[in-house]
Homo-oligomer: A and B are copies of this chain.
Amino acid sequence: MSGKIFIIEDEPSIIQLVQHNLEKEGFIVSSSINGNNGLKELKKFEPNLLLLDWMLPDLSGIEICKNIRKDMKLKSLPIIMLTAKGEEEDKIKGLDSGVDDYLTKPFSFNELLARIKAVLRRSDPKIVSDYIEFDDLKLNRNERRVFRSDIEITLGPTEFRLLEFFLLNPKRVYSRDQILENVWPNNINVESRTIDVHIRRLRKSVNLKNKKELIRTVRSAGYSLI
C-alpha cells in the first residue's frame, strides 16, 4: 500500500490513532487540527485522499469541501467525511458538496481503512495493495482469491462479498439487516432468510474438513467471524 493521506480533525486522540495505524499500513500521513491551516498545508502536501472532520473549530467541513472543489488542482481529491452520530440529515447536504464517502464516529480503524481503500480504488487503483488476513484465512482482492491454510477456496460472487464484509470487522456480530445493507447492491430487496442460505453456502466453501467453524451464529442477533 502506498499513497498520501491528509487529515483535518480537531480531536488529537483520533488523529493519533488514525495517523499511526495508517502509517503502519504504508501510507504517508500528515494532519492539521483546524480548517484554515489545513487547507494551506493540504495544498503543499498533495495527498491522494483527505479525511475531513465535519465539525471543526473554525471552518466547517462543508466549507472546506466547497473550497477544495473550486481549486483546479484539488478538484478531484477524494474526500471521506467524518461525522458524529445524529447528523444523518446533514449527510445529504454533504453528499451534494462532493464528498466521496462518510464514516460515523465512533468507528473502528478497520472500517475506516476499508472505506479509504474503496475510495482510492475508484480514484487510483494502483495505490491499493489489498490483502486481508484473519486466522488461517487469506483474502486477496486484486487476484480475487481466498485461501484457508494455503488451500485455495472457490467462492461465488456473493460469498466473496460476504466474506470480504465479515473480514472488515472480524469477531463483530452483524445483524441480517446490516449484512443486507452492506453486502447486497443498494435498493435491492431480498428476504432476510436469503442471508441464511448464503451463510450456509459460505460455510460449506470455507470450512474444509478438519478445520474449525469460522462463522458463528448468534441466535436472534446475526452472524460473525470467530
User: Could you tell me which A residues sit within 8 Å of B by CB distance?
Assistant: 2-4, 46, 48, 72-74, 76-77, 84-87, 89, 106-108, 111, 124-127, 142-144, 156-157, 171-173, 178, 218-221, 224
Contact = CB atoms under 8 A, between A and B. Distances in A.
Count of chain copies: 2
Contact of A172 (B85, B108, B143, B157): B143
A46 B84 contact: yes
Contact of A171 (B106, B127, B143): B143
Contacts of A2: 106
B219 A156 contact: yes
Given A73-B89, A144-B221, A144-B224, 19 more contacts: A2-B106, A46-B84, A46-B85, A48-B85, A74-B86, A85-B124, A106-B126, A107-B126, A108-B126, A111-B126, A142-B172, A142-B173, A143-B171, A143-B172, A143-B173, A144-B173, A144-B218, A156-B219, A157-B219
A171 to B, nearest CB: 5
